[in-house]
Amino acid sequence: MKINKMWIPVFLLPTVVLFLMIYAVPLVMVFATSLFDYRLNAKDMTFIGFGNYSRLFRDPDFFQALSNTVMWILIQCTVHVALGTVVALILYKRPKGWKFVRTAYMVPNIISNAAIAMIFLNIFNPQFGVINSVLKAARLEHLTRNWLMDSRTSFVSVTLIWVLFAGYTTTLVLAQALSIDDTIIEAAKVDGASPFQRDIFVVLPLLKKVIGTTMVMAATYMLQMFDLIYITTNGGPGKATTNLPLLLYSVYKGENNYGYANAIGVCIVVIGIGAMALINKALKVNQEEY
Amino acid sequence: MKKKWIAVTLAWAMGVTILAGCTTKNPDQSGGNTAKDSGNSGEIVINYPTFQVGVNTAAPVVSQLVEEFNKEYKGKYRIQLEEVPGDANYVDKIKVQLGTGDLPPVVYGGGYNLLDLAVAKDLVLDLTDTVGGDPEWKGLYSDASLETNSRNGKIYASSAEGSIIGYFYNKELFEKAGITEPAKTWDEFFKQCDALKAAGITPLAMDTADSAWVTQLWLGAMAATANEDGLKFMETMNPDDYNTPEMIAAAEKVQTMLREYTTLDAIGGKYENAANNFLSGQAAMIANGPWMIGDFEDEAKAMPGFSDKVGSAIYPGGFVYDAPIQGYFVTKQDDPKLEEAAIAMVKFFTSAHAQQLGLETQGMIPASQTVEITEEAKRKYPLLADFLNQAEEAAIRSDNMQSTMYSNLLDVISQELPRLYSGDLDPKGFCQSLTDGAKKNQ
């Protein structure tokens, strides 16, 4: 059927208008106000050029938050996505009860982050939490600690809250795997490939794009991560679990410094775009393959 | 041709649907902050957002005051409550409105220091002449209240409530540890902590999260009673140097308290954890104000008869927190009639009658020294009466740290106390972190 291309812009127009009003204009405003000394406790805004950005490079809290954010993106893009992919590959073999496992593995992803945070606050509770109780029962009392508030364990403890539950990755990868043409797998079988070889050399390469997509999703999820950290540690102890969104919030709410908070916001956007470009380029997510 | 028209219609419908959400509402539906004439009556409506609704302890008082005000000024002024559940949400809302310069006619400053932010933006009405011209209103201002609500010699706000804070102890647990009365000195206090610990009792209920309200009360009390410099520090608004010998010594003691004398969940725990530990009889002492007295009798929070086990005390060294809570202020409006209405509301809400009502309904301590603590209030809140008697003996008084510190330090103190506990920070480092945090406000 011949499509009249003239109508494409007409139907795109509402979306474009919506995007401009809801995302583009605020983004421009965020960048514009980040060039001002814009505080709640000052009568007027003063233009300071890139003053807020130069403060970023002198602020140890920013570097700590940046380092935590990048670390979490890397962990999410590797460990989290790998776990989800492995589970998907196992389920792809359709073992007994695979549909139940697929649903069960998805459950943590449908619970709100606030509820998950509360659950883990209890799990990690130093007084009555499961972890310390199990350690005590196993006569490993010397290993008990305040998991979320000990500088040595807080980062790992917070990471464990989300890194193991890769339901979305599993669902997406599994859906893609199930759509692979059986003839390709049969051909590999005829060529004498073992099940492991078929997974690694046939199935996995065909999942490259969807894995890339899940990595982009994982990275952006980490750039937005706020509620889980806010409820469990509020970025502490010290700045051990502060990421960029949490730092932005504390600058906005605590220091009432909107200009500096917006400069951090611009950094988050830039890092997000950078991470997406990097992942897309590395995994050629947007390129057609023939 | 028909298809073309269908396509155009669909595209137009999509656009209209999207843009419909962006159109300006009727002002009457906008929930804005400005006054509205209700019909032709000429009645000025004061839109008053407040978090003192629902389960908030002050809700009954505010509700009754609104009802009485609306009755007294019927046909002239009317308060329309806008419910904003949660004080943090309220503060956020006011800050956003401060940013846009569109504040409601009356703002409750509370313990959130909203006044300075609004004064800096030149959005607050100067009440100096109005208060000065009204001897009854002026008479309700104590020196402390005047100081709390004035900036650069101008009166900007009016307080209804005071804040006298000591600590509570569990008499039964004290008895088990052989303690007969609250400590008079800090040395005695720590010996009592040792005695409680030796008897298998956790001496203190403490917290570190959410600004560490309970813990910072102990910290401030120790700093204030150290010497004159310590008290001067506690009386300073927005101090920017915490590297003082008094603060470092107090931080050292707090480090010991967190390590030796409190529950495991104090580190990272919120006020609720601390309160629960005290209310469940797991900890012997908690620093807090009289507003907690209601919890002792609340069987949803404490065991029946728990209130009989509780005693109240002022801090060792004869110290009590005693400062009026920053009050209500009127914001600049386009309509002078609305400003007049807002002034009438603030005057009503901070009147002797309102303060009396707060005392008898909620156990709220009046801001004004001229408002009598009635026998009825003493009968209803015996623990409060007992505490107020003790507070009269206190030789040293100051505001609490949370009210005087820069707001960003509330987060800093929450984040650094766990590091003070673990030893990642020594007391000097802890004070340096607070100093560094304070400097970010300059």
B6-162+324-372 and B165-322+381-439 have identical folds: yes
Answer for the pair A231, A85: CB distance below 8 angstroms, yes or no. Answer: no
For B263, nearest residue in chain A (alpha carbons): A127
Q: Is the pLDDT of residue A289 over 60?
A: no
| Lowest mean pLDDT across A3-12, A185-194, A197-206, B150-159 | A3-12
Asked if A21 and B22 come within 8 Å (Cβ–Cβ), the reply is yes
Answer for the pair B268, A233: CB distance below 8 angstroms, yes or no. Answer: yes
More confident residue, A10 or B250: B250
For A18, nearest residue in chain B (alpha carbons): B18
Answer for the pair B286, B168: CB distance below 8 angstroms, yes or no. Answer: yes
Rounded-to-integer distance, Cα B220 and Cα B231, Å: 9
All residues of chain B having their beta carbon less than 8 Å from the beta carbon of residue A125 are 265
Min Cα separation A30/chain B (Å):
14
The predicted pLDDT at position B286 comes to 97
Whole-complex ipTM = 0.82
For testing contact with chain A, the best of B87, B264, B441 (most A CBs within 10 A): B264
Rounded-to-integer distance, Cα B217 and Cα B168, Å: 12
Element (H, E) at A2: none
Residues linked to residue B83 through DSSP beta bridges, in sequence order: B50
Count Cα atoms within 13 angstroms, Cβ side, for A243.
23
The predicted pLDDT at position B436 comes to 93
Asked if B11 and A14 come within 8 Å (Cβ–Cβ), the reply is yes
Asked if B15 and A17 come within 8 Å (Cβ–Cβ), the reply is yes
User: In the 8-state DSSP scheme, what is residue A43?
Assistant: S
Rounded-to-integer distance, Cα A265 and Cα A258, Å: 10
For testing contact with chain A, the best of B116, B255, B267 (most A CBs within 10 A): B267
Compute φ and ψ for A43, nearest 5 degrees: -70, -40
DSSP three-state, residue B398 = strand
The predicted pLDDT at position A261 comes to 95
A198's CB contacts (< 8 A; 6+ apart) are A185, A188, A189
The predicted pLDDT at position B31 comes to 43
Rounded-to-integer distance, Cα A92 and Cα B430, Å: 54
Count other Cβ atoms within 10 Å, centred on residue B224.
27
B117 touches chain A (CB under 8 A): yes
The predicted pLDDT at position A95 comes to 85
Element (H, E) at B80: strand B77-83
Asked if A14 and B415 come within 8 Å (Cβ–Cβ), the reply is no
Residue B279 carries which side chain, given as an amino acid letter? L
The predicted pLDDT at position B4 comes to 61
Min Cα separation B364/chain A (Å):
28
Judge residue B394's burial from the number of C-beta atoms within 10 Å of its C-beta, 0-12 exposed, 13-18 middle, 19 or more buried.
middle
Asked if A40 and B99 come within 8 Å (Cβ–Cβ), the reply is yes
The predicted pLDDT at position A254 comes to 85
The predicted pLDDT at position A267 comes to 95
Return the CATH fold of B165-322+381-439: D-Maltodextrin-Binding Protein; domain 2 (3.40.190)
Residue B264 carries which side chain, given as an amino acid letter? L
Min Cα separation B415/chain A (Å):
5
User: In the 8-state DSSP scheme, what is residue B40?
Assistant: T
All residues of chain B having their beta carbon less than 8 Å from the beta carbon of residue A255 are 406-408, 440-441
A133 touches chain B (CB under 8 A): no
Rounded-to-integer distance, Cα B160 and Cα B110, Å: 10
* Confidence category of residue A93, pLDDT binned at 50, 70, 90: confident
The predicted pLDDT at position B143 comes to 87
Residues linked to residue B204 through DSSP beta bridges, in sequence order: B262, B285
The predicted pLDDT at position B6 comes to 60
Alpha helices in chain A (DSSP H): 7-19, 25-33, 51-56, 60-75, 81-92, 98-110, 113-123, 130-137, 154-163, 167-178, 182-190, 195-197, 204-206, 208-224, 227-232, 244-253, 258-283
Six token digits for residue B100: 């846009």
Rounded-to-integer distance, Cα A223 and Cα B197, Å: 46
Rounded-to-integer distance, Cα A20 and Cα A265, Å: 18
Answer for the pair B361, B60: CB distance below 8 angstroms, yes or no. Answer: yes
Asked if A11 and B14 come within 8 Å (Cβ–Cβ), the reply is yes
Six token digits for residue A125: 């509770």
pLDDT digits (tens, 9 = 90+) for B156-187: 999 998 889 999 999 999 999 999 999 999 99
Average of per-residue pLDDT across A59-75: 95
Rounded-to-integer distance, Cα B329 and Cα B108, Å: 7
Answer for the pair B400, B217: CB distance below 8 angstroms, yes or no. Answer: yes
Element (H, E) at B86: none
Compute φ and ψ for B46, nearest 5 degrees: -100, 110
The predicted pLDDT at position B17 comes to 54
Count Cα atoms within 13 angstroms, Cβ side, for B277.
27
Per-residue pLDDT of chain B (442 residues; tens, 9 = 90+): 555 666 556 556 655 555 554 444 444 444 444 444 545 568 999 999 999 888 777 888 999 999 999 999 999 999 999 999 888 889 889 988 988 888 999 999 887 778 988 998 899 999 999 999 999 999 999 888 898 899 999 999 999 988 899 999 999 999 999 999 999 999 999 999 999 999 999 999 999 988 899 999 999 999 999 999 999 999 998 899 999 999 999 999 999 999 999 998 899 998 989 999 999 999 999 999 888 887 888 888 888 889 899 999 999 999 999 988 888 999 999 999 999 999 999 999 999 999 999 888 878 888 888 888 888 888 888 888 889 889 988 999 999 998 888 888 988 999 999 999 999 999 999 999 999 999 988 7
Min Cα separation A62/chain B (Å):
13
A14 touches chain B (CB under 8 A): yes
- Give residue limits of the domains in chain B: 6-162+324-372, 165-322+381-439
Residue A280 carries which side chain, given as an amino acid letter? N
Residue B375 carries which side chain, given as an amino acid letter? E
All residues of chain B having their beta carbon less than 8 Å from the beta carbon of residue A150 are 418, 422
| Residue-wise DSSP of A227-262 | HHHHHHTTT-STTTT--HHHHHHHHHHTS-BHHHHH
The predicted pLDDT at position A87 comes to 92
Q: Report angle CA B220, B226, B230 to the nearest 5 degrees.
A: 65
Rounded-to-integer distance, Cα B77 and Cα B43, Å: 5
Q: Which of B267, B197, B226, B200 is nearest to B422 (CA)?
A: B267
Q: Which of A104, A223, A213, A222 is nearest to A165 (CA)?
A: A104
Six token digits for residue B413: 């103190």
Six token digits for residue B312: 């109240």
All residues of chain A having their beta carbon less than 8 Å from the beta carbon of residue B92 are 253
Answer for the pair B398, B323: CB distance below 8 angstroms, yes or no. Answer: yes
Asked if A256 and B425 come within 8 Å (Cβ–Cβ), the reply is no
Six token digits for residue B264: 């495991």
Residue B77 carries which side chain, given as an amino acid letter? Y
Q: In angstroms, what is the C-alpha Rg of chain B?
A: 25
The predicted pLDDT at position B87 comes to 81
Return the CATH fold of B6-162+324-372: D-Maltodextrin-Binding Protein; domain 2 (3.40.190)
Residue B29 carries which side chain, given as an amino acid letter? Q
Count other Cβ atoms within 10 Å, centred on residue A263.
26
B247's CB contacts (< 8 A; 6+ apart) are B223, B230, B233, B431, B434
Neighbour-count burial for B179-216, b at 16+ CB within 10 Å, e otherwise: beebbeebeebbebbebbbebebbbbbbbbbbbbbbbb
User: Positive or negative, the Cα torsion across A237, A239, A244, A245?
Assistant: positive
DSSP three-state, residue B286 = strand
- What does pLDDT average to over chain A? 90
Count other Cβ atoms within 10 Å, centred on residue B55.
6
Six token digits for residue B239: 């101090």
Judge residue B92's burial from the number of C-beta atoms within 10 Å of its C-beta, 0-12 exposed, 13-18 middle, 19 or more buried.
middle
The predicted pLDDT at position B25 comes to 43
Rounded-to-integer distance, Cα A93 and Cα A199, Å: 10
Q: Which of B384, B64, B87, B62 is nearest to B210 (CA)?
A: B87
Six token digits for residue B232: 């001067």
